[in-house]
Structure 1
């Protein structure tokens, strides 16, 4: 009898066919032959990316028609205009893994491990340093106005209500990173790893490089693309080292914390953009 390919699927917790440990530094997740290979690949990622862009354009058009000129940013605009496109796209990715695969836990290597959380926190701290230094250098090069992120530009000179500012803060810190990691270090990474040369170490390196580049470009902020590349490296390393998605989610959340606080204070009119 021919032995099943160990890279085809990921088992549920407690499976006896585990081939890797839970500790950081061991790339890959436990594997099992009991689950069939997923029936999705790069096409699924392209579909999710299309959903992200199309929903952002559609929702933006609807909001622009319903908001009067000079109207302050409202809770509705924060929830719908900023959060919904990414949430819709990430939900689409999860549905794809459920309908055409074994579900997000297996297909995206998503499982709870304290070691992954600890590594994510450490790499997130590295990301915070890179973000702070990189943002300062980039501001000196291109000027303060050109260095702003799209969300920073949104809240500048437009004080929000407390509720809207808190919603924005929680999205940037917690929910947004989860959604983006599902799409880029989850769906795109897993599709890249499952190519024909997936058994070679270059499969993971290619997944790291491609997801890092696409993540930076997908923000559609050309002036900040190089800065986003720098910021996303520690986040991708968390996935590369552990082979699982949780570490990159935690690293992304940690990396976003201080920028989210800064935008919260700006939105409330407490600090300047």
Structure 2
């Protein structure tokens, strides 16, 4: 746009100042209104947790058929490991569709290279914390008690290459996505929605609660303290970026070395 007298371009500020006071011209672009808040809260999270536990129980009974965990075939170990978390995450996504604006808006799930970089940094920090934490925790409770439930299931259980790769990809990539949707997506959003008097709980309360619930929800009492150490950098990535991608990337980076260790153990490359 140019000035009618001089032909010089008019700045955006001057142009806006010269606009009619009764509103923008017909056809002028206006900022889109913010989407309405979601209508789901803690009830939705508790429903997803119930789905997770019920699915894990059902699948466990279905595949065990009187067998001990150590005697389960590899296919059943894969199903029992992946199905409950995947189904629970899909339930969480469905809730955001039915009771909100969908996962992209309600869970703040969007692609952003800046979030990826933050997630990588916190993921590396998480790896350092996890390595130190595992070393200290093993000294305190013993190597056998410090082993995760998944590691115990695949210990001394040779796998085909395809089964081992599926397990590796789940533990490294898919599992973190599902868990982040549930804990730092659905639970985080439910916590931010709560009010204390006239004030909302906010992001810090969401960080603290989701970190604690994430650690306890694994149902491994001896490893809860260690899981808290692991969860803090992941939650910080969500807190700093304000979006879910950062914590997903941090979680995936943190899971890479443990998943790789399980892959190499399952293939018999390294001793259990």
Aligned mates of 1:172, 1:243 — CA distance in 2: 24
The residue that corresponds to 2:214 in the other structure is: 215
Quick check: 1:72–1:159 contact (8 Å CA) kept in 2?
no
Question: CA distance change for structure 1 residues 109 and 138 in 2, over 3 Å: closer, same or farther?
Answer: same
Quick check: 2:191–2:201 contact (8 Å CA) kept in 1?
no
Question: CA distance change for structure 1 residues 41 and 230 in 2, over 3 Å: closer, same or farther?
Answer: same
Aligned mates of 2:238, 2:153 — CA distance in 1: 31
Alignment of 1:122-201 (within 5 A): 122-197=121-196
TM-fit CA distance, 1:80? 1.3
TM-fit CA distance, 1:272? 2.4
Quick check: 1:72–1:160 contact (8 Å CA) kept in 2?
no
Answering whether residue 44 of structure 2 is matched by residue 44 of structure 1, we say: yes
The residue that corresponds to 2:57 in the other structure is: 57
Other structure's SS at 1:141 match: helix
Question: CA distance change for structure 1 residues 107 and 67 in 2, over 3 Å: closer, same or farther?
Answer: same
Question: CA distance change for structure 1 residues 145 and 216 in 2, over 3 Å: closer, same or farther?
Answer: same
Aligned mates of 2:42, 2:138 — CA distance in 1: 35
TM-fit CA distance, 1:196? 2.3
TM-fit CA distance, 1:195? 1.5
Bigger drift between 76-85 and 237-246 goes to 76-85
Question: CA distance change for structure 1 residues 42 and 16 in 2, over 3 Å: closer, same or farther?
Answer: farther
TM-fit CA distance, 1:65? 1.6
Bigger drift between 210-219 and 197-206 goes to 197-206
Alignment of 1:1-273 (within 5 A): 17=31, 33-65=33-65, 71=71, 73-74=73-74, 76-197=75-196, 203-273=202-272
Length-normalised TM-score, structure 1: 0.84
TM-fit CA distance, 1:168? 0.6
Other structure's SS at 1:146 match: helix
Aligned mates of 1:108, 1:136 — CA distance in 2: 34
Q: Report the structure, 1 or 2, having the larger helix content.
A: 2
**Unmatched tracts of structure 1, length 5 or more:** 1-14, 18-31
Structure label with greater radius of gyration:
2
Question: CA distance change for structure 1 residues 225 and 61 in 2, over 3 Å: closer, same or farther?
Answer: same
TM-fit CA distance, 1:79? 3.2
TM-fit CA distance, 1:267? 1.0
Aligned mates of 2:70, 2:190 — CA distance in 1: 44
Quick check: 2:39–2:100 contact (8 Å CA) kept in 1?
yes
Bigger drift between 137-146 and 157-166 goes to 157-166
**Unmatched tracts of structure 2, length 5 or more:** 1-28
Aligned mates of 2:125, 2:240 — CA distance in 1: 15
Extract structure 1 runs of 4+ deviating beyond 4 A.
66-72, 197-202
Aligned mates of 1:246, 1:106 — CA distance in 2: 13
Aligned mates of 2:228, 2:127 — CA distance in 1: 14
Aligned mates of 1:158, 1:93 — CA distance in 2: 33
